[in-house]
Amino acid sequence: MNRLLLLLLSSSATLLVFGLWIPVKAVVAQEMLALAWAESQARRTETRPWPWADTWPVARMALPGLDRSMIVLEGTHGESLAFGPGRVAGTGSDNGPVIIAGHRDTHFRKLNELKAGSEIRLQGQDGQWQNYRVESFRIVDSRREQIDTQRLSRDVLLLVTCYPFEALEAGGPLRYVVMARRQDPAPVNRVEQIDTVAGL
């Protein structure tokens, strides 16, 4: 009986520790990512936060309304989302729409506190900050919908996380999507300014 009890006790404790470890990891990793981000800004290259990482920081996102700032990683596979919000691969290059996904239990826990008109700031690899303003929210069923990146306007930022926020189940089909739109025009100094645009 005692042994059984001990087993139950220790396994529950282990579960609890693992459960708590995920948010702790998310917080700790962000600190390391901040270093990698600083380095990649200084060197202007993709810097991996630790040698075996299969992702790298691509942006810094600030949510002034929620008093939060985090480093965004490349890709949305489980490995990168564990450490930070992930930019959906293939989006956000140059001028296209940006789609960023994050775990609802860690980095995007407070996403539902964003209001229409809230500000989101995004710093790209070139160090330029861009301001976005939240326009709308939507709850979608991911079994029935996909994001058509080609139909999205180019100045759109989408934040995606799981819905409902307080659910226990990890594989749920619902997603909470925040759409924000860029405020100021894109910065003028792109890598190489192309000198002429021929008239039509």
Residues numbered 62-81 forming contacts with another protein, rule: CB under 8 A: 76, 78, 81
Which run of H or E residues covers position 134?
A: strand 129-141
Which residue has tokens 């306007």? 153
Strand partners, 57: 73
The answer to whether 193 contacts another protein (rule: CB under 8 A) is: no
Residue 49 has, within 13 A of its CA and on its CB side, a CA count of 23
Binds another protein (CB under 8 A): choice among 52, 184, 185, 198? 198
Q: Please report how close the Cβ of residue 78 comes to another protein at its closest, in angstroms.
A: 7
Binds another protein (CB under 8 A): choice among 70, 103, 122, 182? 103
Distance of alpha carbon 88 from alpha carbon 169, whole angstroms: 23
Query: Within positions 22 to 41, which residues make up the interface with another protein, using CB under 8 A?
Result: 22-23
Binds another protein (CB under 8 A): choice among 20, 27, 116, 186? 20
- Find the part of the chain contacting another protein (CB under 8 A) among 52-60, 65-73, 118-126, 147-155: 147-155
User: DSSP secondary-structure letter at 23?
Assistant: H
Distance of alpha carbon 39 from alpha carbon 53, whole angstroms: 15
Sequence-ordered strand ranges (E) for 16-97: 57-63, 68-74, 86-87
Q: Please report how close the Cβ of residue 62 comes to another protein at its closest, in angstroms.
A: 20
Query: Within positions 154 to 183, which residues make up the interface with another protein, using CB under 8 A?
Result: 154, 160-172, 174-175, 177, 179
The answer to whether 194 contacts another protein (rule: CB under 8 A) is: yes
> Taking CB under 8 A as the rule, which mask of x and - marks residues 119-138 in contact with another protein?
-----------------x-x
Which run of H or E residues covers position 138?
A: strand 129-141
Query: Within positions 80 to 99, which residues make up the interface with another protein, using CB under 8 A?
Result: 81-82, 86, 88-91, 93-96, 99
Which run of H or E residues covers position 24?
A: helix 2-43
